[in-house]
Amino acid sequence: MKLKRLKVWGGNIVTVVMVITIVVMAFVIIASKVSGGDPKVFGYELKTVLSGSMEPEIKTGSIIAVKPGGDMTDFIENDVITFQQQDGKLITHRIVEVVGNGDNVLYRTKGDSNGTPDSNLVLADNVVAKYNGFTIPYIGYIISFAQSQNGAFLLLVPGFLLLLFACFTVWQTLAQIGVTTGKEAKKEQEDSCAP
């Protein structure tokens, strides 16, 4: 009886995880396609980190939540910011020095695992957002792929797994009904043969 309950609980947990996975993946794919960029949740943008320059705090392949907007001249040393380089690439690094004041603020930045600070100072105008400390390791790889042209197929994988699990559950239930019906038929036959 305990094994049966354990199987039921395990099946329910697998179902819930798969449904949540499908919903999250659908949200990420749809939000990124609609916005034309990174998905937003409660005013935070989810960015994918594909380099190891901020390890160990931010692992390669993580997603991070950053808060866009606000006063980009108000950051202090040790804040982690996301900024745009001249080539348009976004970088997330830690501020190691604030240079200037007022409207002429520049930031010297450095990746935590890099040996030296970045070669160029960052203009306050190039700061896109501030990192708030929220990160989920390795999900960035999935989101990055989901945003690609072939990424929509990711919705099919958990859906297919959910379908297989549903078929297995139906098969298992039908087998259980067959066993129960067979036992009842055998008992009825034994009862009718008894003197």
For residue 93, name the pLDDT band (cuts at 50, 70, 90): very high
pLDDT at 192: 54
* 189 inside domain: no
> 51 an active-site residue?
yes
User: Do 46 and 134 belong to one domain?
Assistant: yes
Compute the distance between CA of residue 49 and CA of residue 92 in angstroms, rounded to an integer. Answer: 8
The one-character DSSP state at 59 is: -
User: Do 10 and 68 belong to one domain?
Assistant: no
User: Do 46 and 141 belong to one domain?
Assistant: yes
Per-residue pLDDT reduced to its tens digit, 41-92:
777 888 888 888 998 888 988 888 898 888 888 899 999 999 998 888 889 9
Contact 167, 49 (CB under 8 A): no
Domain holding 7, by residue range, is 1-36+153-177
The catalytic position among 35, 51, 62, 192 is 51
* CA count, 13 A, side-chain hemisphere, 120: 10
Q: What are phi and psi of 170, to 5 degrees?
A: -65, -45
pLDDT at 179: 61
Per-residue pLDDT reduced to its tens digit, 145-194:
766 666 666 667 767 777 787 788 788 778 777 766 655 555 555 555 55
Of the listed ranges 9-23, 126-140, 143-157, the least confidently predicted one is: 143-157
Could you tell me what percent of the chain has a pLDDT over 90?
21
Compute the distance between CA of residue 101 and CA of residue 74 in angstroms, rounded to an integer. Answer: 9
> What is the number of domains present in the chain?
2
Per-residue pLDDT reduced to its tens digit, 96-134:
999 987 678 999 999 999 999 999 999 999 999 999 888
User: Do 66 and 126 belong to one domain?
Assistant: yes
Q: Which is more confidently placed, 36 or 60?
A: 60
